[in-house]
Amino acid sequence: MTPTTKTPSKKEIQNVLKECETHNKKHHCFTTLCKEEAQKQKKAKGTLSGIYISVKDNICVKDVETTAGSHILKGYLPKFDATTIQKLKEEGATIIGKTSCDAFGFGSFNTNVGKGFSIPKNPHDTKRTTGGSSGGSAAITQLATFPHVSLAESTGGSIACPASFCGIIGLTPTYGRVSRYGLIPYANSLDKIGIMSKKVSEIEPILKVISGFDEKDGTSLKEPLNLNAPKKLRIGIIKESYAKGIDPEIQKALKSILTKLKQKHTITEISLPLTTTYGVACYYILATSEASTNLACLSGLRYGQELPKKNKGFNSYFTEVRTKSFNQESKRRIMIGTFTRMAGYRDAYYIKATKVRTKIIQEYKKAFKTYDVLISPTMPFIAPTFSNIDKMTPLQNYLSDILTVGSNLAGLPHASIPIGKKEGMPIGLLAITDHLKEGTLLQTLKEIEALQ
């Protein structure tokens, strides 16, 4: 992807949208295509002129339907751009559409779409998942033949997982590096806007544009983006990556790339027992607790789908709206989160999970005193078929995040990059660096990309 520095013509935009429409018919990458809006956007000449951006459907784009993949927000047209969108437009990028996602980001396989939405299909095999929750972003990133990058979002692995399953690069920056203003929240202390691309070189110009402090987001960071990196990396291989349950072919692909990296860099094993043992449980308690709170406003009064109110009390109306508009997984996570915050259970679950999270952060910080980057597989398996997903219990579904939740709980920058294939399906490697070390992360990705 190379910026053209010239304003794209009406014909060029039409051709891009036509290609997107073709892909969408087969793979269901988009919830909305910006057919009119893309032409109306002011095409300022900037560092991203000639670049087309798809946007996960939980990031607000002015006057474009934004639903977070849920029926309850169907018809919502934001009157403002998210800070990231505003910055991209100012640099000349063209927004082409909103991509499919699990409702509110609730899922690892993008099969938990809202009522009336279509499940996206893997670009390599339409019988398999794209991964979630940013599955539509990953699919169109793999399929696009035009200069394209997707703006995605991660809470517990929602960028890394679909990047692995679709065979692209997905980078999640340090928590607070990119403003969350205009992002429909899943879990405020975990949500991070990131980038999906085909090449490592395509990430840096986007990251430079969208990074930075935003007075509209109190959690955004004032520290400037530093892309410096050591020439020789100290790499730690997470020992639990070779544990039972990780596909042997994935382990083999990881060992192969590590053998090549050893020729230039120092590589040794490290154990993260706390993260591996308690990460998933800690994540799902905290994430669902925050989700339950965030979604309480969607009652059909000020926000959410409205139904006839005649002769209905608040409780019955509230229940009817949410019963009809939320999908099964949204209801499940709201119930779990409400339970963990209830008086009598808060100390046993929510408060304990916050303490475990602190311990997990400390475990990572200790590791980064010795290592520049930590490496593991991204996912324990290749993209499963939809028929196999249907056989999974909710718990099995949640456990698939075992390799990605740790870095998200700690707010660490991390990225997935393809390193091989099994049965024609991509295998991803997960690289994690210390807070604010996006430069080291990008350097690691460049080293790995060059070896393939």
**Residues 324-334 pLDDT 10s:** 999 999 999 99
Structural domain includes residue 429: no
Backbone angles phi, psi at 235, to 5 degrees: -105, 130
Give the Cα separation of 57 and 66 in Å (integer).
Answer: 6
Question: Which tokens go with 92?
Answer: 């000349």
Structural domain includes residue 196: yes
How many beta carbons lie within 10 A of that of residue 362, not counting itself? 12
Q: Work out the pLDDT band at 297, boundaries 50, 70, 90.
A: very high
- Domain of residue 60, CATH code: 3.90.1300.10
Average pLDDT over residues 91-102: 97
**Which of 70, 100, 108, 133 is labelled catalytic?**
133
Do 139 and 147 meet the contact criterion of CB atoms below 8 Å apart?
no
Structural domain includes residue 170: yes
Structural domain includes residue 414: no
User: What's the pTM value of the predicted model, to 2 decimals?
Assistant: 0.96
Tell me the residue ranges of DSSP E strands in 21-140. 30-33, 52-56, 94-99
Q: Work out the pLDDT band at 372, boundaries 50, 70, 90.
A: very high
What pLDDT sits at residue 245? Answer: 83
Containing structural domain, residue 117: 10-210
Question: Which tokens go with 367?
Answer: 């590791």
Do 61 and 55 meet the contact criterion of CB atoms below 8 Å apart?
yes
pLDDT averaged over every residue in the chain = 96
Structural domain includes residue 442: no
> In b/e form, how buried is each residue of 59-86, taking b as 16+ CB within 10 angstroms?
bbbbebbbbbbbbbbbebebeebbbbbb
What pLDDT sits at residue 145? Answer: 98
* pLDDT surpasses 80 at 36: yes
Q: Is 164 a catalytic residue?
A: no
Structural domain includes residue 439: no
Structural domain includes residue 205: yes
Average pLDDT over residues 42-59: 91
Q: Work out the pLDDT band at 5, boundaries 50, 70, 90.
A: low
Q: Is 271 a catalytic residue?
A: no
Q: Is 400 a catalytic residue?
A: no
Average pLDDT over residues 73-91: 97
Q: Comparing C-alpha atoms, which of 43, 35, 48, 53 is closest to residue 8?
A: 43
Q: Comparing C-alpha atoms, which of 59, 54, 1 is closest to residue 29?
A: 54
DSSP 105: G
What pLDDT sits at residue 1? Answer: 52
Average pLDDT over residues 29-58: 92
Per residue in 56-67, pLDDT (tens digit) is 999 999 999 999
* pLDDT surpasses 60 at 259: yes
How many distinct structural domains can be found in the chain?
1
Tell me the residue ranges of DSSP E strands in 259-411. 266-270, 373-377
Residue with tokens 């692909």: 253
Give the Cα separation of 42 and 90 in Å (integer).
Answer: 8
Percent of the chain with pLDDT over 70: 98
Of residues 133 and 240, more confidence is placed in: 133
Q: Work out the pLDDT band at 158, boundaries 50, 70, 90.
A: very high
Q: How many residues does the chain have?
A: 452
Do 145 and 123 meet the contact criterion of CB atoms below 8 Å apart?
no
Integer angstrom CA distances of residue 99 from 160, 190, 246, 266: 16, 21, 30, 40
**Which of 108, 137, 158, 211 is labelled catalytic?**
158
What pLDDT sits at residue 3? Answer: 47
Structural domain includes residue 246: no
Amino acid identity for residue 126 in this structure: T
